[in-house]
Amino acid sequence: MAKKGSAEERDLVHKLWERNFAAMRAPASGGATKRPLPDVLAGNGKLYLAIEVKTTTKEKIYIEEEQITALCEFSKIFGAKPYIGVRFKYTKWLFLEPQNTPRTKSGNYRVEKDYALEKGFEIDEIAGIDKQMKFE
């Protein structure tokens, strides 16, 4: 499972580089350090993104509250915009703002596929690329 997750993170990093962001995986995320690190960190000198990456073949993703708290803590210190990056099987990358992501009764985060498809931002949106900029 970890191997698949790292492949998905690398895919996202490549997509961000294609949009003129310097991007990298934070290999220390996931327990190698006690510091609050995102899975992917990207910036272009104007906009900085910290992304917690989750992928699944199922219809829902559950994320522990502590992971998103750490993402938001890192983002605040670094000056980055925090996102939960989700990819369901056969869908494109979608991004949710933590403060607008549904929670369970226990405080964890729950992302359903239909919700992500309806409310999630696409990669160009979080990268600040709009349709007008693409044609200039």
Catalytically annotated residues: 29
Q: Which amino acid is at 123?
A: I
Residues in Cβ contact with 85 at an 8 Å cutoff, skipping those fewer than 6 apart? 12, 39, 40, 51, 52, 53, 54, 93, 94, 95
Measured CA to CA, the distance from residue 94 to residue 125 in angstroms comes to 10
Instruction: Break the chain down into helix, strand, coil percent, rounded to 5.
Output: 35, 30, 35
